[in-house]
Amino acid sequence: MIQAHDLSKSYGSARAVDGLTFDVEPGRVTGFLGPNGAGKSTTMRMILGLDTPSRGSVTVNGRAYGEIRRPLHEVGAVLETRAVHGGRSSFNHLLCLAQSNGIDRSRVSAVLDLVGLDKVARRHVGAFSLGMSQRLGLAAALLGDPPVLLCDEPVNGLDPEGIVWIRTFLRERAAEGRTVFVSSHLMSEMALTADHLIVVGRGRLIADASVSDIIERHSANSVLVRSPVVRQLAALLDQRGADVSLNLADDSLIVTGLSASAVGDLAVAHGLAVHELVSRQASLEEAFMELTRNSVDFRPEAAA
Protein backbone atom coordinates (compact mmCIF):
# COMPACT_ATOMS: atom_id res chain seq x y z
CA MET A 1 0.00 0.00 0.00
CA ILE A 2 1.40 3.36 -1.06
CA GLN A 3 -0.32 6.54 0.05
CA ALA A 4 0.50 9.96 -1.34
CA HIS A 5 -1.02 13.07 0.12
CA ASP A 6 -0.72 16.46 -1.58
CA LEU A 7 2.66 15.30 -2.85
CA SER A 8 4.49 18.13 -4.61
CA LYS A 9 7.95 18.81 -5.96
CA SER A 10 9.17 22.09 -7.38
CA TYR A 11 12.45 22.83 -9.11
CA GLY A 12 12.73 26.60 -8.87
CA SER A 13 9.48 27.89 -10.30
CA ALA A 14 8.78 24.71 -12.26
CA ARG A 15 6.34 22.31 -10.61
CA ALA A 16 7.30 18.77 -11.54
CA VAL A 17 4.70 17.24 -9.23
CA ASP A 18 1.77 19.29 -8.09
CA GLY A 19 -0.49 18.17 -5.24
CA LEU A 20 -0.81 14.47 -6.02
CA THR A 21 -3.09 12.52 -3.69
CA PHE A 22 -3.63 8.83 -4.38
CA ASP A 23 -3.55 5.34 -2.88
CA VAL A 24 -1.92 2.35 -4.53
CA GLU A 25 -3.71 -0.76 -3.32
CA PRO A 26 -2.24 -4.23 -2.92
CA GLY A 27 -3.32 -7.22 -5.00
CA ARG A 28 -3.48 -5.49 -8.34
CA VAL A 29 -1.26 -3.80 -10.86
CA THR A 30 -1.65 -0.05 -10.71
CA GLY A 31 -0.48 1.79 -13.79
CA PHE A 32 1.05 5.22 -13.34
CA LEU A 33 0.37 6.83 -16.65
CA GLY A 34 1.26 10.15 -18.15
CA PRO A 35 3.10 11.77 -21.02
CA ASN A 36 6.87 12.21 -20.79
CA GLY A 37 7.71 14.89 -18.25
CA ALA A 38 4.46 14.47 -16.32
CA GLY A 39 6.33 13.89 -13.05
CA LYS A 40 6.15 10.09 -12.86
CA SER A 41 9.83 9.45 -12.16
CA THR A 42 10.00 12.30 -9.66
CA THR A 43 7.03 10.79 -7.83
CA MET A 44 8.73 7.38 -7.81
CA ARG A 45 11.91 8.93 -6.38
CA MET A 46 9.92 10.68 -3.67
CA ILE A 47 8.25 7.39 -2.71
CA LEU A 48 11.75 5.92 -2.28
CA GLY A 49 12.96 8.84 -0.20
CA LEU A 50 15.53 9.83 -2.83
CA ASP A 51 13.93 13.21 -3.55
CA THR A 52 12.48 15.28 -0.74
CA PRO A 53 8.96 16.56 -1.45
CA SER A 54 8.55 20.35 -1.51
CA ARG A 55 5.15 19.82 0.06
CA GLY A 56 2.96 16.93 1.15
CA SER A 57 4.02 13.41 1.99
CA VAL A 58 4.07 9.84 0.82
CA THR A 59 4.15 6.65 2.86
CA VAL A 60 4.76 2.99 2.13
CA ASN A 61 2.75 0.64 4.33
CA GLY A 62 2.04 3.56 6.62
CA ARG A 63 5.61 4.73 7.09
CA ALA A 64 7.80 7.37 5.47
CA TYR A 65 10.50 5.61 3.49
CA GLY A 66 13.32 6.85 5.73
CA GLU A 67 11.72 5.19 8.74
CA ILE A 68 11.63 1.73 7.19
CA ARG A 69 14.11 -0.42 9.01
CA ARG A 70 15.18 -2.78 6.27
CA PRO A 71 13.82 -1.22 3.07
CA LEU A 72 14.57 -4.11 0.71
CA HIS A 73 12.13 -6.23 2.71
CA GLU A 74 9.39 -3.61 2.27
CA VAL A 75 9.84 -2.09 -1.16
CA GLY A 76 11.53 -3.32 -4.30
CA ALA A 77 12.19 -0.72 -6.95
CA VAL A 78 13.37 -0.72 -10.54
CA LEU A 79 14.31 2.81 -11.54
CA GLU A 80 16.77 3.32 -14.40
CA THR A 81 17.63 0.15 -16.24
CA ARG A 82 21.35 0.74 -16.67
CA ALA A 83 22.04 2.11 -13.21
CA VAL A 84 24.74 -0.44 -12.46
CA HIS A 85 28.54 -0.43 -12.53
CA GLY A 86 29.36 -2.09 -15.84
CA GLY A 87 32.50 -3.71 -14.46
CA ARG A 88 30.70 -5.67 -11.77
CA SER A 89 29.17 -9.11 -12.25
CA SER A 90 25.43 -9.41 -11.80
CA PHE A 91 26.00 -11.68 -8.82
CA ASN A 92 28.21 -9.13 -7.06
CA HIS A 93 25.87 -6.29 -7.98
CA LEU A 94 23.04 -8.09 -6.23
CA LEU A 95 25.28 -9.31 -3.41
CA CYS A 96 26.33 -5.83 -2.31
CA LEU A 97 22.70 -4.71 -2.23
CA ALA A 98 21.67 -7.85 -0.35
CA GLN A 99 24.43 -7.51 2.24
CA SER A 100 23.41 -3.96 3.05
CA ASN A 101 20.07 -5.31 4.29
CA GLY A 102 21.45 -8.46 5.86
CA ILE A 103 20.01 -10.70 3.13
CA ASP A 104 21.68 -14.06 2.68
CA ARG A 105 23.90 -14.84 -0.30
CA SER A 106 21.69 -17.82 -1.22
CA ARG A 107 18.84 -15.40 -1.90
CA VAL A 108 21.01 -13.72 -4.57
CA SER A 109 21.25 -17.00 -6.45
CA ALA A 110 17.53 -17.55 -5.97
CA VAL A 111 16.48 -14.23 -7.53
CA LEU A 112 18.94 -14.72 -10.41
CA ASP A 113 17.19 -18.05 -11.06
CA LEU A 114 13.81 -16.40 -10.80
CA VAL A 115 14.52 -13.85 -13.54
CA GLY A 116 16.47 -16.31 -15.68
CA LEU A 117 19.91 -14.77 -15.28
CA ASP A 118 21.51 -17.67 -13.40
CA LYS A 119 23.60 -18.65 -16.44
CA VAL A 120 25.21 -15.20 -16.66
CA ALA A 121 25.61 -14.55 -12.93
CA ARG A 122 29.38 -14.11 -13.24
CA ARG A 123 29.35 -12.07 -16.42
CA HIS A 124 30.02 -8.32 -16.33
CA VAL A 125 26.83 -6.30 -16.31
CA GLY A 126 28.29 -3.91 -18.90
CA ALA A 127 27.89 -6.59 -21.56
CA PHE A 128 24.19 -7.15 -20.79
CA SER A 129 21.45 -6.42 -23.32
CA LEU A 130 18.68 -4.05 -22.34
CA GLY A 131 16.36 -6.96 -21.64
CA MET A 132 18.93 -8.63 -19.38
CA SER A 133 19.56 -5.34 -17.54
CA GLN A 134 15.83 -4.99 -16.99
CA ARG A 135 15.71 -8.51 -15.53
CA LEU A 136 18.67 -7.67 -13.30
CA GLY A 137 16.78 -4.62 -12.04
CA LEU A 138 13.80 -6.83 -11.19
CA ALA A 139 16.07 -9.35 -9.48
CA ALA A 140 17.41 -6.55 -7.26
CA ALA A 141 13.87 -5.44 -6.46
CA LEU A 142 12.95 -8.97 -5.39
CA LEU A 143 15.94 -9.54 -3.07
CA GLY A 144 14.01 -8.88 0.12
CA ASP A 145 10.80 -10.53 -1.15
CA PRO A 146 9.00 -7.20 -0.63
CA PRO A 147 5.22 -6.72 -0.55
CA VAL A 148 5.54 -3.53 -2.62
CA LEU A 149 7.09 -3.29 -6.09
CA LEU A 150 7.80 -0.09 -7.99
CA CYS A 151 8.82 -0.11 -11.64
CA ASP A 152 9.62 3.01 -13.63
CA GLU A 153 8.99 2.48 -17.36
CA PRO A 154 9.88 -1.21 -17.24
CA VAL A 155 9.12 -2.02 -20.87
CA ASN A 156 11.02 0.88 -22.43
CA GLY A 157 13.17 -0.35 -25.27
CA LEU A 158 12.36 -4.03 -24.76
CA ASP A 159 11.60 -6.46 -27.56
CA PRO A 160 8.10 -8.02 -27.68
CA GLU A 161 9.27 -11.15 -25.88
CA GLY A 162 10.74 -9.09 -23.06
CA ILE A 163 7.59 -7.01 -22.82
CA VAL A 164 5.40 -10.08 -22.47
CA TRP A 165 7.77 -11.51 -19.88
CA ILE A 166 7.68 -8.37 -17.71
CA ARG A 167 3.93 -8.02 -18.08
CA THR A 168 3.33 -11.60 -16.98
CA PHE A 169 5.86 -11.25 -14.21
CA LEU A 170 4.23 -8.12 -12.73
CA ARG A 171 0.74 -9.59 -13.00
CA GLU A 172 1.90 -12.69 -11.13
CA ARG A 173 3.38 -10.57 -8.33
CA ALA A 174 0.09 -8.68 -7.99
CA ALA A 175 -1.82 -11.97 -7.96
CA GLU A 176 0.35 -13.01 -5.00
CA GLY A 177 -1.15 -10.06 -3.14
CA ARG A 178 1.63 -7.54 -3.61
CA THR A 179 1.26 -3.87 -4.35
CA VAL A 180 2.58 -3.33 -7.88
CA PHE A 181 3.02 0.24 -9.11
CA VAL A 182 4.22 0.59 -12.69
CA SER A 183 4.82 3.83 -14.55
CA SER A 184 4.53 4.15 -18.29
CA HIS A 185 3.81 6.66 -21.00
CA LEU A 186 2.34 3.87 -23.15
CA MET A 187 -1.39 3.57 -22.70
CA SER A 188 -1.61 0.47 -24.86
CA GLU A 189 0.89 -1.29 -22.62
CA MET A 190 -0.98 -0.26 -19.47
CA ALA A 191 -4.24 -1.51 -20.98
CA LEU A 192 -2.69 -4.98 -21.01
CA THR A 193 -0.76 -4.84 -17.74
CA ALA A 194 -2.72 -2.73 -15.29
CA ASP A 195 -6.01 -3.20 -13.47
CA HIS A 196 -6.14 0.29 -12.15
CA LEU A 197 -4.77 3.56 -13.48
CA ILE A 198 -3.47 6.73 -11.95
CA VAL A 199 -3.16 9.24 -14.77
CA VAL A 200 -1.04 12.36 -14.42
CA GLY A 201 -0.25 15.28 -16.67
CA ARG A 202 2.05 18.21 -15.87
CA GLY A 203 2.43 16.88 -12.36
CA ARG A 204 -1.27 16.90 -11.60
CA LEU A 205 -3.68 14.05 -11.06
CA ILE A 206 -6.01 13.64 -14.03
CA ALA A 207 -7.70 10.35 -13.25
CA ASP A 208 -7.65 7.60 -10.65
CA ALA A 209 -9.93 4.78 -11.75
CA SER A 210 -10.06 1.25 -13.10
CA VAL A 211 -8.92 0.70 -16.68
CA SER A 212 -12.45 -0.12 -17.90
CA ASP A 213 -13.92 2.94 -16.18
CA ILE A 214 -11.42 5.19 -17.85
CA ILE A 215 -12.16 3.83 -21.30
CA GLU A 216 -15.89 4.12 -20.73
CA ARG A 217 -15.80 7.60 -19.30
CA HIS A 218 -13.29 9.26 -21.51
CA SER A 219 -13.86 7.80 -24.90
CA ALA A 220 -17.10 8.50 -26.73
CA ASN A 221 -18.08 5.46 -28.80
CA SER A 222 -18.85 6.32 -32.39
CA VAL A 223 -20.50 4.86 -35.47
CA LEU A 224 -18.98 4.89 -38.93
CA VAL A 225 -21.56 5.14 -41.73
CA ARG A 226 -20.92 4.96 -45.48
CA SER A 227 -23.77 5.92 -47.75
CA PRO A 228 -24.34 7.29 -51.31
CA VAL A 229 -26.61 9.91 -49.78
CA VAL A 230 -24.39 11.11 -46.90
CA ARG A 231 -25.61 14.72 -47.04
CA GLN A 232 -29.26 13.81 -46.48
CA LEU A 233 -28.34 11.28 -43.82
CA ALA A 234 -26.14 13.85 -42.05
CA ALA A 235 -28.94 16.39 -41.99
CA LEU A 236 -31.35 13.79 -40.62
CA LEU A 237 -28.94 12.66 -37.88
CA ASP A 238 -28.20 16.24 -36.97
CA GLN A 239 -31.95 16.85 -36.39
CA ARG A 240 -31.94 13.89 -34.00
CA GLY A 241 -29.25 15.57 -31.92
CA ALA A 242 -26.27 13.38 -32.90
CA ASP A 243 -22.79 14.79 -33.47
CA VAL A 244 -21.92 14.22 -37.09
CA SER A 245 -18.68 14.72 -38.92
CA LEU A 246 -19.01 14.45 -42.66
CA ASN A 247 -16.27 13.26 -44.99
CA LEU A 248 -17.25 13.85 -48.63
CA ALA A 249 -14.04 12.34 -49.98
CA ASP A 250 -15.23 8.80 -49.26
CA ASP A 251 -18.93 9.49 -48.54
CA SER A 252 -18.62 8.60 -44.88
CA LEU A 253 -19.94 9.91 -41.57
CA ILE A 254 -18.66 9.56 -38.05
CA VAL A 255 -21.63 9.70 -35.70
CA THR A 256 -21.43 10.08 -31.96
CA GLY A 257 -24.38 10.18 -29.59
CA LEU A 258 -26.41 7.50 -31.36
CA SER A 259 -25.94 3.75 -31.44
CA ALA A 260 -25.31 1.86 -34.69
CA SER A 261 -28.76 0.28 -34.54
CA ALA A 262 -30.44 3.67 -34.04
CA VAL A 263 -28.59 5.05 -37.06
CA GLY A 264 -29.60 2.02 -39.17
CA ASP A 265 -33.25 2.21 -38.12
CA LEU A 266 -33.37 5.91 -38.94
CA ALA A 267 -31.93 5.35 -42.42
CA VAL A 268 -34.45 2.58 -43.18
CA ALA A 269 -37.38 4.68 -41.92
CA HIS A 270 -36.43 7.43 -44.40
CA GLY A 271 -35.56 5.11 -47.24
CA LEU A 272 -31.90 6.09 -47.32
CA ALA A 273 -29.37 3.53 -48.53
CA VAL A 274 -26.54 2.56 -46.18
CA HIS A 275 -23.49 0.68 -47.52
CA GLU A 276 -21.53 0.34 -44.32
CA LEU A 277 -22.44 0.65 -40.67
CA VAL A 278 -19.74 0.00 -38.07
CA SER A 279 -19.81 0.55 -34.34
CA ARG A 280 -16.43 1.75 -33.09
CA GLN A 281 -15.10 1.36 -29.57
CA ALA A 282 -12.51 3.99 -28.78
CA SER A 283 -9.21 2.53 -27.64
CA LEU A 284 -7.51 3.25 -24.37
CA GLU A 285 -4.97 5.18 -26.43
CA GLU A 286 -7.68 7.59 -27.55
CA ALA A 287 -8.98 7.88 -24.03
CA PHE A 288 -5.49 8.75 -22.90
CA MET A 289 -5.04 11.38 -25.62
CA GLU A 290 -8.40 12.83 -24.66
CA LEU A 291 -7.48 12.84 -20.97
CA THR A 292 -4.08 14.43 -21.35
CA ARG A 293 -4.93 16.76 -24.21
CA ASN A 294 -4.35 19.82 -22.08
CA SER A 295 -1.43 18.46 -20.14
CA VAL A 296 1.17 17.81 -22.76
CA ASP A 297 4.00 20.29 -22.59
CA PHE A 298 5.31 20.08 -26.08
CA ARG A 299 3.21 18.77 -28.87
CA PRO A 300 4.08 18.64 -32.54
CA GLU A 301 1.76 20.91 -34.57
CA ALA A 302 0.59 18.25 -36.97
CA ALA A 303 -0.45 15.83 -34.28
CA ALA A 304 -2.54 18.38 -32.43
**Interface contacts to other proteins, rule CB under 8 A:** 45, 48-52, 65-66, 68-75, 77, 79-80, 82-89, 92-93, 95-97, 99-102, 140, 144-147, 176-178
Minimum distance from CB of 299 to other proteins (Å)?
28
Given the complex with other proteins, which of 139 and 287 has the nearer CB atom? 139
Minimum distance from CB of 181 to other proteins (Å)?
14
Minimum distance from CB of 151 to other proteins (Å)?
13
Minimum distance from CB of 140 to other proteins (Å)?
6
Given the complex with other proteins, which of 97 and 282 has the nearer CB atom? 97
Given the complex with other proteins, which of 60 and 274 has the nearer CB atom? 60
Distance CA 4, CA 56 (A): 8
Given the complex with other proteins, which of 58 and 237 has the nearer CB atom? 58
Nearby residues of 18 by Cβ (< 8 Å), 6 or more positions away:
8, 39, 202, 203, 204
Minimum distance from CB of 80 to other proteins (Å)?
5
Minimum distance from CB of 289 to other proteins (Å)?
31
Given the complex with other proteins, which of 55 and 280 has the nearer CB atom? 55
Given the complex with other proteins, which of 35 and 71 has the nearer CB atom? 71
